[in-house]
Amino acid sequence: MKGMTKLALDIVMGAVIPILILNNLTGPLGAPPAYVLAALVPVLYILVDTFLISRRFNVITSYVGLSAIMNGILAFWFVDGVLYALKDTAALIVSVVVFLGSVLIGRPIVRYFLLQGFNPDTPARESKLRQLLSVPAVQHSLVLATLIVAAQTALVGAVNFALNLNLVTAPFGVDLFNQQVAQVNAITRVAFPIANLIAFGLGFVFVFRALFAVLPAQPSEGQQSELWPLIDRWEPAA
């Protein structure tokens, strides 16, 4: 699935449909059932995409799947006020911990995004790509990219907590609570994915600069986007 199509679908399933449910089904279903339904739609979308459509099982998809399951469980934790703000920020907190933890153990998680994105089609290519990503200059860029995404996630986590704390003030179980949740979702579930793409994009700028500095010189300007021929020509230092 192409990047922009995937982003559009993520916004529709993660924001548009839940907001429509909160605004239009709270009356007919009742506030708590409508809230749970709206919370579970993005969770089910992620699980279906991971296990039935994409069917790619690796570090990244496992992390995404577990995060979705955690959000699904938290949907049944009926709280308001500070606890709701904390609950709605929990996934972002976990993400920051995972990203920073991956740096501390020397396995920056952006490395796995690249391994998945390059999708080596033979064991030999996979082995060579792993060697390339272990070159010190490239490894440093992976750490930097991971820290950039972690910082961005921490920032949006703080914003998310503040928005929920200040805008979702009604007690859980009343119609106004669902309306306030929908208002916050209209901001966060559109703005945050875009901010995440920007952070990843910035991080990958540093990674690709490091890759092109290590790989053989390109034959022509027209092949700048073709990395596999360069990787195939690259020989690790003895």
Which of 145, 43, 147 shows the shortest CA–CA distance to 96? 147
pLDDT > 90 fraction of the chain, expressed in percent and rounded: 66
**Domain contains 185:** yes
**Domain contains 209:** yes
**Domain contains 70:** yes
Cα dist from 231 to 10, 34, 122, 127, 144, whole Å: 32, 51, 13, 11, 22
Whether the Cβ atoms of residue 63 and residue 94 lie closer than 8 Å to each other: no
Q: Does the pLDDT at position 218 exceed 80? A: no
Task: For residue 134, give the DSSP letter.
Answer: T
**Domain contains 158:** yes
* pTM for this prediction: 0.88
**Domain contains 238:** no
**Domain contains 135:** yes
**Domain contains 138:** yes
Give residue-wise pLDDT tens across range 24-60. 999 999 999 999 999 999 999 988 887 777 666 677 7
Is residue 185 very low, low, confident or very high in pLDDT (cuts 50, 70, 90)?
Answer: very high
The whole-chain average pLDDT of the chain stands at 89
Q: How many domains would you assign to the chain?
A: 1
What stretches of 59-122 show up as alpha helix (H) in DSSP? 59-74, 81-104, 110-118
Q: Which domain holds residue 159?
A: 3-233
What is the token pair recorded at 235? Answer: 């020989």
**Domain contains 35:** yes
Q: Does the pLDDT at position 225 exceed 60? A: no
Give residue-wise pLDDT tens across range 54-90. 666 677 778 888 888 999 999 999 999 999 999 999 9
Q: Does the pLDDT at position 191 exceed 70? A: yes
Query: How buried is residue 157: exposed, middle or buried, by Cβ count under 10 Å (0-12/13-18/19+)?
Result: buried
